[in-house]
């Protein structure tokens, strides 16, 4: 019986820590996280991106503003280990010019470089479908380096 209780407590502890690692869910309101609004364009609704993290993950929250509340419509999770030699950035460019919907994981380069050009992974915060969608890294030509003072 003692072994059963130990295993039971171990399982509960494991489930609890996994739930704590995932801080957000779809439909939840964002209270206070750093981020930015996407260019409204021809849309009549505001959308935005917020960033948060846990001990092991970075959460990119795609939200829609409804009745002054920021409601999460999709979540992209990135393991913090991927950021050891890379960096998450926004304000990227394709052949069609600047695209505010793109978030990219780029190879860290010299902070004096004007742009990041070594794209590792890229996603689009697609407002039409309300989801992050993976896009081919070759479609992203460069991303602004905010450390350069652009």
With tokens 């450390």, the residue in question is 147
pTM assigned to the model: 0.76
Whose CA is closest to 60, among 44, 73, 43?
73
User: In the predicted model, what is the mean pLDDT of residues 92-119?
Assistant: 89
- Model confidence pLDDT, tens digit, residues 49-67: 999 888 888 999 999 998 8
**Rounded Cα gap, residues 88 and 75, in angstroms:** 15
User: What pLDDT sits at residue 117?
Assistant: 93
| Mean pLDDT, residues 128-149 | 90
Q: Is 70 exposed, middle or buried (0-12, 13-18, 19+ CB in 10 A)?
A: buried
E strands, 6-129, are: 34-37, 47-53, 57-66, 69-79, 86-94, 97-107, 115-116, 119-126
The mean pLDDT value for 107-118 works out to 83
Best CA proximity match to 78, nearest among 115, 132, 28: 132
């Amino acid at each position: 019986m003692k072994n059963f209780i130990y295993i039971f407590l171990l399982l509960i502890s494991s489930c609890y820590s996994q739930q704590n690692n995932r801080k957000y869910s779809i439909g939840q309101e964002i209270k206070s996280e750093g981020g930015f609004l996407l260019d409204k364009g021809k849309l009549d609704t505001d959308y935005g991106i917020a960033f948060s993290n846990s001990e092991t993950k970075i959460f990119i929250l795609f939200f829609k503003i409804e009745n002054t509340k920021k409601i999460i419509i999709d979540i992209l999770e990135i393991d913090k280990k991927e950021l050891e030699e890379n960096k998450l950035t926004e304000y990227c460019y394709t052949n069609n010019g600047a695209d505010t919907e793109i978030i990219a994981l780029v190879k860290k380069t010299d902070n004096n470089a004007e742009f990041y050009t070594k794209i590792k992974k890229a996603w689009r915060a697609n407002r039409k479908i309300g989801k992050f969608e993976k896009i081919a890294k070759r479609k992203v030509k460069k991303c602004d380096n905010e450390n350069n003072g652009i």
